[in-house]
Amino acid sequence: MRILVVEDDPLIGDGLKMGLGQLGFVVDWFRQGREGLAALAAAPFDAVVLDLGLPGMDGMDILAAWRQAGQDVPVLVLTARDTLDERLQGLDAGADDYLVKPFALSEVAARLRALIRRRHGQSVSRLVHGAVSFDPVARTAWLDDKALELTARELALLELLLSSKGRVLSRELIEEKLYGWGQELESNAVEVYVHHLRKKLGAGFIRTQRGVGYALGEPQ
């Protein structure tokens, strides 16, 4: 799941990027308000972590601009402004959730997962398809109740496929969801990960739609 982080404090921003990265998210981090504003439309982000006190453009203004432009990506606001008035103001401006600094990284991750799940209309966190199931919190996949050994990218691809049931995902979209800006990527990376997953989960788990992309196969 690809997350946009807009946070001007270098230590917090770096921590979010590194920490959320370890927790299974693909993170792009921007420190300037205007950069963050423009970034949301440039990639298929699943959620945003937005600080309010930003240089160039205030977080509240960015949020309002996104909502005005019709962006419905879930936004988790992170801020030190904690008075009731300010929290209400943020929620009214279109924030989906609110966390006051200092916060626990695990809580940020949990809230992001909940926001994304809710957006996809899921109410349970575990994703199941046939004999394959995946726990986004534990970042563990099972085949017939047997835990699988998967790399972080393989897990990310599995999560993406499981949360996009019935949809065909283009190679470009998969690349964008799996890699943040500035991350190196081999031209055939997606094919490689699809191949690995098929080997571990069964050839029919991923279906190739020629000229379009990949989708989940029939549940087995």
In the set 38, 44, 72, 82, which binds other proteins (CB under 8 A)? 82
List Cβ neighbours of 113 (8 Å cut-off, separation of 6 or more).
1, 125, 136, 137
Kindly state the smallest distance separating residue 76's Cβ from other proteins, in Å.
14
Say whether 52 sits in a helix, a strand or coil. coil
User: Given strand 75-79, what is the order of strands in its sheet?
Assistant: 26-30, 2-6, 47-51, 75-79, 97-100
Using CB under 8 A as the binding rule, whether residue 157 contacts other proteins is answered as no
In the set 104, 128, 192, 212, which binds other proteins (CB under 8 A)? 104
In the set 44, 55, 204, 219, which binds other proteins (CB under 8 A)? 55
Using CB under 8 A as the binding rule, whether residue 200 contacts other proteins is answered as no
Around 220, how many Cα atoms within 13 Å sit in the side-chain half-sphere?
12
Distance CA 185, CA 192 (A): 11
In the block, tokens 């199931």 appear at 133
List Cβ neighbours of 70 (8 Å cut-off, separation of 6 or more).
none
Kindly state the smallest distance separating residue 204's Cβ from other proteins, in Å.
33
Residue placing its CB nearer to other proteins in the complex, 32 or 122? 32
Residue placing its CB nearer to other proteins in the complex, 1 or 174? 1
The region of 81-89, 131-139, 158-166, 199-207 touching other proteins under the rule CB under 8 A is 81-89
Using CB under 8 A as the binding rule, whether residue 100 contacts other proteins is answered as yes
Report CA torsion sign: 123, 127, 129, 133: negative
Kindly state the smallest distance separating residue 199's Cβ from other proteins, in Å.
24
List Cβ neighbours of 87 (8 Å cut-off, separation of 6 or more).
81, 98
Using CB under 8 A as the binding rule, whether residue 18 contacts other proteins is answered as yes
Residue placing its CB nearer to other proteins in the complex, 32 or 208? 32
In the set 43, 65, 105, 131, which binds other proteins (CB under 8 A)? 105
In sequence order, what are the beta bridge partners of 6?
30, 50
Using CB under 8 A as the binding rule, whether residue 92 contacts other proteins is answered as no
The region of 13-21, 139-147, 170-178, 199-207 touching other proteins under the rule CB under 8 A is 13-21
Whether omega before 102 lies within 30 degrees of 0, making that bond cis, reads: yes
Query: Interface residues with other proteins (CB under 8 A)?
Result: 8-12, 14-16, 18-19, 22-23, 31-33, 53-56, 58, 80-83, 86, 100-106
